Structure 1
Amino acid sequence: MEFVVKNTKAPAIKAATLVLPVGEDLVLGTTAQSVDAASAGAIATVLKRGDLQGKPGQTLLLQQLSGIKAERVLLVGTGKADELDNRQWRKVVTAVTGALKNLGGSDAALALQDVQIKGRDAYARTRILVEVLAGGQYVFDRFKSKKADARPLSRITLLSDKTEQAQVEQAANHAQAITTGMNFARDLGNLPPNVCHPSYIAEQARQLGKDFKGLKVEVLDEKKLRELGAGSFLAVSQGSDQPGCIVVMQYNGGKKGEQPYALVGKGITFDTGGISLKPGLGMDEMKYDMCGAASVLGTFRAALELQLPINLVGVLACAENMPSGGATRPGDIVTTLSGQTVEILNTDAEGRLVLCDALTYVERFKPRAVIDVATLTGACIVALGSQTSGLMSNDEELARQLLGAGQNADDRAWQLPLFDEYQEQLDSPFADIANIGGPKAGTITAACFLSRFTKAYAWAHLDIAGTAWISGGKEKGATGRPVPLLTQYLLDRVE
């Protein structure tokens, strides 16, 4: 879908559909007033009849109003002006998206520039607007014999005041790149595990390197990882017929020699739990256990689309966790790439085993900061539900930056503690560390485990177990989160 920004009077815009906002007070904004005046009071007439109350997400379609060039006008309720926040704004734009899907015409013009959102400027308002509109067009029907019907809507014009036009254009540009990255991540997550295995993810990274100049991709296979001493990673991949790999991506868009920012993603393409086998109910959703790696790829895609002037490193720890005669057993002890030994008490705590070696490997790039992204613990869903990602860090400034990026991108995280007292739960009588810390504070002790391998740099961990996908029912599918948060973090670093 194409988005364009214009400083044009609403009555004069030629479009199949013109979208106008109406608040609960039914007082029209400046733009809607101009359309009402041009159409001899047609909008005021329908409002007086009570056909629209202006509640958030309500819509009313008006056909062929005289005096304006748009074929039809879609009125959308925006609620009470002093209550319109990000959540309500998303509801409004989602309603517009749904209404436009059911209308004919290849284009629409959105005259929503008079809408004010609490604590948000024109840039933030437009970012959410475009992300919701573009994301609402997403369809995953690759494996359906009957494909979804083609949608005629292909072009959306955003009307803007001249004073805000530069902000709106920048926001639309950023939002389109972010949505492209999110949809890339969603596609990877939604693919079945017999297609999206570690080698497939590696191939997608290689293709990204072919599509965009400046991206270097290297794939470390199991032979190379064995030579390096990545015993913790190999303990997970050895149970599967699908070979594991660590994918390393380098994008040098910044100054030569400038320290890079690093993103590390968990890429368990299917997680049976290994010998510590998971219950069968809902196990199909364990194909989403690679959404950390998918979100890193999606963020790279967004950064490459925008050609951000920044140096980035991406490390994807890709493996399949399967039970077999060659699989790791509870009680096995392995040596990590860092030299630390781990007693594996539960093979279903495999994400931290692949990540710890990836976090050790990334140290060689002397990163300015490292963020790992993983669907790591069910405990995070218990703590924060499906609305918010968990955040833990060894650096308060980095944590603050990520929390701020999540707030600005409307892709929020919440910080959990990483106190030393929790480390004691990982004590092992036989090795340097156990891979689980018992039933208490599972999200925190998982991060404590990872923190043992991140002492050389500023590091943050995002647990996206609750936010990376929607479970069950017709709405089941990958969300593309936290691509908006991560991309916003990078945009902030550039600024």
Structure 2
Amino acid sequence: MTTLTLTDKDTAALKADVLVLLSRTSDGDTRLVTAHGVAAETEEHINATLAAIGAKGRLNETTKLTGVPGVSAPLVVVSGTSLEDEPQASDHESIRQAVGAAIRGLKGTQHAAVAVPGPSSELAGAVAEGALFGAYAFNAYRSAPKPSSEPVAKVSVISSAARTAAAKAAAKRAEVLAETQAFARDLVNTPPNDLYPESFADKVKKRLSGTKVKVSVMEERALAKANCGGLIGVGQGSARPPRLVTLTYAPEKATRHVAIVGKGITFDSGGLCLKPATSMITMKCDMAGAAAAVAAVEALARLGTPVAVTAYLCLAENMTGSNAQRPGDVVTMHNGKTVEIINTDAEGRLVMADGLSFASEITPDVVVDIATLTGAAMMALGVRTAAVLSNNDDARERMVTAASRVGERQWAMPLAEELRPPMDSQVADFKHTGEKHGGMITAALFLREFVGDNADGEQIPWVHVDIAGPAFNSDGAHGYTPTGATGYGVRSLVSFAEANV
């Protein structure tokens, strides 16, 4: 893992292999962002060079310069922010993205320094987060990783606020978020022959051993006894049986309780309703919701957040074995409701239904589920935005706001009640799919059936986050986001839980 330090040295005194500075565009001119420790001659030289080469100052635009006066580093990287004015605290995501883009492009570098815009400890934290998020590589399966493929070994954040408690706290938070997000990315990137329900559960137990998080695992016999028809039904076509992993973080001073349910389909073949071959290539990512959930719980525990959290990781492999679930089957879920199976490739909502039923039994203040659930969400919002649906307007808006605070984009969608009747079944309580239009909403309406009531007899506030798009990046890397697993959702869940303190 990349190490992080804070310093208030100027750029002439700090010894590093690379110095990262940021740029902005104002009235058509690209200029350096004002930052701590940058000499006037350095700024003048770089501004003239940026003008000469026609730099635009846009996000993901990085310019490498050598021989820069007033700088001890032999190489300077200028990364665009797309900002027109000097950065403010509210511009934290632009700063994260710009720094992440620069650090991501410096693989094989031992020591990079990044100058923070202004004296803001919040922006110092954004710089630290962007650097650590961008400093990620997954080389576990390479026989001989090249040094040039390894992330930056050390990052120094140059800030006038380096000695303040606020900046130190921001740096510590950045380290926790980056390390837990990297764990989620690693889980998603792990090939499905090595990551399956049992091994996933084992990795979680090992990771959280000795922490403030308790881990319990339900195996297939216990799941069958508990009438978990969703998990059992989806998993019965695989030689690797399902698991339900429960994580409990219960700090003494907590007055609020958040439940998280994460979809953990470790590989999705589509079951008997087989996916096209090209659609299976990335289906190791179908457990990204569960990965985000476990990483978020670990982060909250390490940060000492005074809110109780119980997470349920719904783990199964959707395969086509001789006992695979069939269209037309009827299964009984943990809450006693019966479901007619229509499309075995709509398996995620089935395992999530059992998780939501368990979560409802502990009557938390709010339940959040996170899942790579529907291609319909990607059709509606693209691949960088998650869909958010809820039975509670306030809870939905709090989730969208929490995600915005940490730079994860979400968009609120309606629960259109007219899409519920097509899910009625002639042989069971309901079907698990509906009409072809509005599939994202239909999936959420199905999940809502498994959210229980609180002590007042009202349905527990529930938020559904569909991360089918942003959980896995099949396109080119951008900002601090690598190709492959993104770790999306970890920061949103942490931010949402923190807002429930």
The TM-score, its normalising length taken from structure 2, stands at 0.87
Aligned mates of 2:446, 2:187 — CA distance in 1: 27
Task: Select the residue among 92, 103, 118 that pairs with 1:114.
Answer: 118
- Aligned partner of 1:136 in structure 2 is 134
Q: Superposed, which structure 2 residues align to 1:53-452 within 5 Å?
A: 53=54, 55-56=56-57, 57-63=61-67, 65=69, 73-78=76-81, 81-82=84-85, 88-98=94-104, 100-101=106-107, 106-114=110-118, 122-123=121-122, 125-149=123-147, 151=150, 153-162=152-161, 165-212=164-211, 214-255=212-253, 258-452=255-449
- Aligned partner of 1:483 in structure 2 is 490
Q: Deviations over 1:220-261 (max 9, x none)?
A: 1111111112123211111111111111111112426x4421
Q: Deviations over 1:420-448 (max 9, x none)?
A: 32221211111111010120110101100
Residue type matched to 1:493 in 2? N
Aligned mates of 2:224, 2:69 — CA distance in 1: 71
Matched, 1:44 2:44: yes
- Where does the alignment leave 5 or more consecutive residues of structure 1 unmatched? 116-120
Decide whether the 8 Å contact of 1:333 with 1:344 is kept in 2. yes
Aligned mates of 2:495, 2:219 — CA distance in 1: 32
Per-residue deviation at 1:192? 1.2
Instruction: Report the CA distance shift for 1:274/1:72 in structure 2 as closer, same or farther (over 3 A).
Output: closer
Residue type matched to 2:285 in 1? Y
Aligned mates of 2:33, 2:86 — CA distance in 1: 16
- Aligned partner of 1:118 in structure 2 is none
Q: CA RMSD in A?
A: 2.8
Aligned mates of 1:419, 1:342 — CA distance in 2: 21
Instruction: Report the CA distance shift for 1:111/1:398 in structure 2 as closer, same or farther (over 3 A).
Output: same
SS in 2 for 1:281: helix
Decide whether the 8 Å contact of 2:104 with 2:135 is kept in 1. no
Q: Deviations over 1:346-393 (max 9, x none)?
A: 111111111111111122322111111111111111111101101111
Q: Superposed, which structure 2 residues align to 1:3-14 within 5 Å?
A: 3-14=4-15
- Where does the alignment leave 5 or more consecutive residues of structure 2 unmatched? 454-459
Aligned mates of 2:151, 2:287 — CA distance in 1: 33
Instruction: Report the CA distance shift for 1:255/1:114 in structure 2 as closer, same or farther (over 3 A).
Output: closer
The TM-score, its normalising length taken from structure 1, stands at 0.88
SS in 2 for 1:316: strand
Per-residue deviation at 1:396? 1.5
Paired residues, what number? 479
SS in 1 for 2:435: coil
